């Protein structure tokens, strides 16, 4: 959700920047985009597709999630010269780090989880078990490795859609915003062009 919001904000920001510089908006010149599709496929099957997500074992979910993160990091490395991909890579690396440190799932505390579903539902889930059919595992902060990288942030209470997210997710969203806003161009080039256009 936070990634989608970042892209939806980044697109009009990029259009406005292109308009100010009197040039057409262009999609960032990313290569090997098929790696992103390939990386998302295991997550789609494990977390979003109703006919499969209840039948896949935790072991396969862990393999798919870790593999997905690694493929996305490879994509960032192959596109490392494009502005914004390094920000994406840092966020992905932080998420991979905390997931790997906690048995292959993203930890979430009972306190945070109870903001997303009724507290009685959370209380019925044993600690160390998956929280729903997603990527999260229910753990106490004291039992969580790298707790500061876990899904520990929430939108304001009045926000219509509540979802927990991590520091890594926030950095990924910042990278997606930057990538769509500047269309993969180095900031110094944009500043130079804007300075010439306004002279």
Per-residue pLDDT of the chain (199 residues), as tens digits, is: 677 778 788 888 888 887 887 878 788 889 999 999 999 999 999 998 988 988 899 999 999 999 999 999 999 999 999 988 999 999 999 999 999 999 999 999 999 999 999 999 999 999 999 998 899 999 999 999 999 999 999 988 878 788 999 999 999 999 999 988 887 666 555 545 444 544 4
Distance CA(191)–CA(33), nearest Å, equals: 28
Counting the structural domains of the chain, the total is: 1
What is d(CA 194, CA 199) in angstroms, rounded to the nearest whole number? 9
The radius of gyration computed from the CA coordinates of the chain, to the nearest angstrom, equals 19
């Amino acid at each position: 959700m936070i990634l989608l919001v970042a892209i939806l904000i980044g697109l009009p920001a990029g259009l406005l920047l292109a308009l100010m510089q009197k040039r057409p908006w262009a999609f960032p010149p990313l290569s090997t985009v098929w790696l992103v599709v390939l990386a998302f496929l295991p997550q789609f099957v494990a977390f979003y597709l109703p006919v499969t997500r209840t039948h896949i074992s935790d072991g396969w979910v862990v393999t798919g999630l870790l593999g997905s993160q690694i493929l996305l990091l490879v994509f960032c490395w192959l596109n490392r010269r494009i502005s914004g991909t390094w920000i994406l890579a840092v966020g992905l690396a932080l998420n991979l780090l905390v997931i790997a440190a906690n048995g292959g799932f993203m930890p979430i505390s009972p306190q945070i989880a109870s903001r997303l579903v009724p507290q009685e539902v959370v209380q019925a889930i044993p600690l160390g078990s998956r929280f729903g059919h997603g990527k999260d595992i229910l753990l106490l902060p004291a039992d969580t490795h790298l707790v500061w990288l876990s899904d520990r942030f929430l939108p304001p209470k009045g926000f219509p859609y509540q979802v927990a997210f991590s520091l890594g997710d926030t950095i990924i969203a910042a990278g997606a915003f930057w990538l769509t806003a500047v269309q993969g161009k180095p900031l110094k080039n944009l500043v130079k062009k804007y300075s010439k256009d306004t002279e």
